[in-house]
Structure 1
């Protein structure tokens, strides 16, 4: 079980994590929360219907990581700037974002909070590490958060496709990006084994 999730009875998953791994995942989840931003403030409406129809931003974020986490719904690579089609797609994306971004941010915030709470509630084993046991629902939150963490790190590393990932393996140890690359690859392994437990 070290370094990989395994299915457990009842539809959950378990993984052994040492104190350093716990600290890394928790720190990354906290940074993700800070990037996504806080939820509704004190001035939020108590009316659930008003909350349902609350409008979000219509412009895409400027931060490249947030652009990766909250992409435009329409357009993307291949859309020619300045063309009538591109302008139309941009308008569709703005409208879609206005009604979906708040919910998407809330989902990502919830996923990261579940990760932090699970790590905070772990009981340490005698060897300085612990076994994290997740319910099926917690596993789905973890999967979302691991995906978001990899997308965020991948954006910082300019990972666009498989070729970029292959180049990461070739970085020399003295490259300042190496720790981020190691986290990216490690989280990918965790994500892959967690997916495996969900389809068993």
Structure 2
């Protein structure tokens, strides 16, 4: 099964730029992970135990558990040791998966626009990367339930909101194609 579409040159450039920027954010986070001697001995990679302070990375790499999800655990346990331990063990693998998806997009997007033909596996990676780019852009724009569908043309985020909606449509069409 192949999923086929066409991208114009501006769409291809925009996707390449956005996915590349997100990839760079993730690579910076990965490179800044603390050095762990036990990790070197065991081969088990570890990452940060603290969540990202950057809003965009925070949306891409959220905590595993929030205090409002379980009233039985105290907030200090959930926010401290529990989330820190889970993050340290799992964040490297989550970053790897996001980087793999981003690379598939970068490898398959036609650089000057044109025909796009994806295998089912590539389409799944595209879904992951499109979702990540949407999440990152949504965090930067402060997208919420109250965000209008359109902003006035002279609003500084109007074009960015249009891109957010375009990514949403791409994601929906890809999901429909895969179903």
TM-score (normalizing by structure 2): 0.86
Q: Which residue does the alignment assign to 1:147?
A: 131
Corresponding pairs, count: 173
* Distance in 2 of aligned mates of 1:118 and 1:35: 21
RMSD over equivalenced CA pairs, Å: 2.8
**Residue number among 63, 80, 89 corresponding to 2:78 in the alignment:** 89
Q: Which residue does the alignment assign to 2:120?
A: 136
Verify the 8 A CA contact 1:79 1:86 in the aligned structure 2.
Answer: no
Verify the 8 A CA contact 2:63 2:87 in the aligned structure 1.
Answer: yes
Deviation at 1:54, TM superposition (A): 1.4
Q: Secondary structure at the match of 1:15?
A: strand
Structure 1 consecutive aligned stretches of length 4 or more whose deviation exceeds 4 Å: 76-80
Q: How does 1:104-183 map to 2 (within 5 A)?
A: 104-119=94-109, 122=110, 129-160=113-144, 163-165=145-147, 167=148, 169-183=149-163
Q: Which residue does the alignment assign to 1:43?
A: none
* Distance in 2 of aligned mates of 1:54 and 1:170: 44
Change (3 A) 1:123 1:116: closer
Change (3 A) 1:76 1:134: farther
Q: Which residue does the alignment assign to 2:36?
A: none
Post-superposition CA distance 1:2-28 (Å, at most 9, x none): xxxxxxxx2x31111111110000000
Post-superposition CA distance 1:34-88 (Å, at most 9, x none): 1111567xxxxxx99944x2111100000001111000001155789xxx71111
* Distance in 2 of aligned mates of 1:130 and 1:189: 19
* Distance in 1 of aligned mates of 2:67 and 2:150: 29
TM-score (normalizing by structure 1): 0.77
* Distance in 2 of aligned mates of 1:49 and 1:134: 40
Verify the 8 A CA contact 2:13 2:111 in the aligned structure 1.
Answer: no
Relative to its length, the structure with more helix (as a share) is: 2
